[in-house]
Amino acid sequence: MKLSMQRKITEFTKAEELLLLMSSAPILGDYEEYWKDFLHKIDKGFNKLRDLYKDDMRVKGVIDSINIARKSDPLISYLMQARNSDEHSIRQITERVGGYTKLEGGAGGGVIVSGVIEGGKMQENLVTAGNLKIEFQIEYVEIISVTSRGKKYDPPNISSGKAVLTHIPHQIALIGLNFYLEKLALIDKVLLS
């Protein structure tokens, strides 16, 4: 029995592992490096896939559909161009967004009974009383516009006809990885029939 395409092309498995590392990275510098590594693995995986089946007419349509998406789908194209921009320039491909702690008192006010509030850090052991709302956001990373070969590529707002409501790298990575895994499943299906 043939190995599935995903197992033959280990870059997709490595991209999946990098996505998991991104999702749980406690340090933003590591997160950004996993993102860059993900971009390289997904692109290398496609190149290996294309080379592996360049003469196989049974899967030509699937390979062609990936090539078309890499040029026309805003998210798939963005992934490729972000990788190119990172590879061939010194420009940033992500931007750090600062964290904050926001306090709001409602009718009758509120009191912090005990605990310490430090900006940019999750509040632990904080005891409040009354009408007090505390909103916390840790520092995070967003994708930004990238330039590749003189052309600017903005963060995608659509992919496969669906709205993309995030610019968080690991969420963008998940959408992109799922696109490629769906194409790999189609190739497996064609080859096994």
Question: What's the pLDDT tens digit per position in 53-100?
Answer: 999 999 999 999 999 999 999 999 999 999 988 776 666 888 888 877
Strands (DSSP E) found in the chain: 94-97, 100-114, 127-137, 140-143, 146-148, 151-153, 158-159, 162-163
Provide the number of structural domains found in the chain: 2
Residue 120 predicted with pLDDT over 70: no
Q: Write the CA distances from 185 to 82, 182, 188, 189, 192, integer angstroms.
A: 25, 5, 5, 6, 10
Q: Are residues 74 and 53 in the same domain?
A: yes
Q: Are residues 89 and 157 in the same domain?
A: yes
User: Do residues 128 and 106 lie in contact, with contact meaning Cβ atoms separated by under 8 Å?
Assistant: no
Find the domain containing 122 and state its range.
100-137
pLDDT given for residue 1 in this prediction: 31
Q: Are residues 38 and 86 in the same domain?
A: yes
Q: Are residues 115 and 152 in the same domain?
A: no
**Cα 99 from Cα 26, distance rounded (Å):** 14
| SS3 of residue 114 by DSSP | strand
150 versus 100: the higher-pLDDT residue is 150
Q: Are residues 65 and 149 in the same domain?
A: yes
Residue 183 predicted with pLDDT over 50: yes
- pTM for the complete prediction? 0.81
**Closest-CA residue to 65 (of 191, 193, 182):** 182
pLDDT given for residue 121 in this prediction: 61
Q: Are residues 115 and 153 in the same domain?
A: no
Q: Are residues 48 and 84 in the same domain?
A: yes
Residue 155 predicted with pLDDT over 60: yes
Residue 2 predicted with pLDDT over 50: no
Mean pLDDT throughout 137-162?
Answer: 91
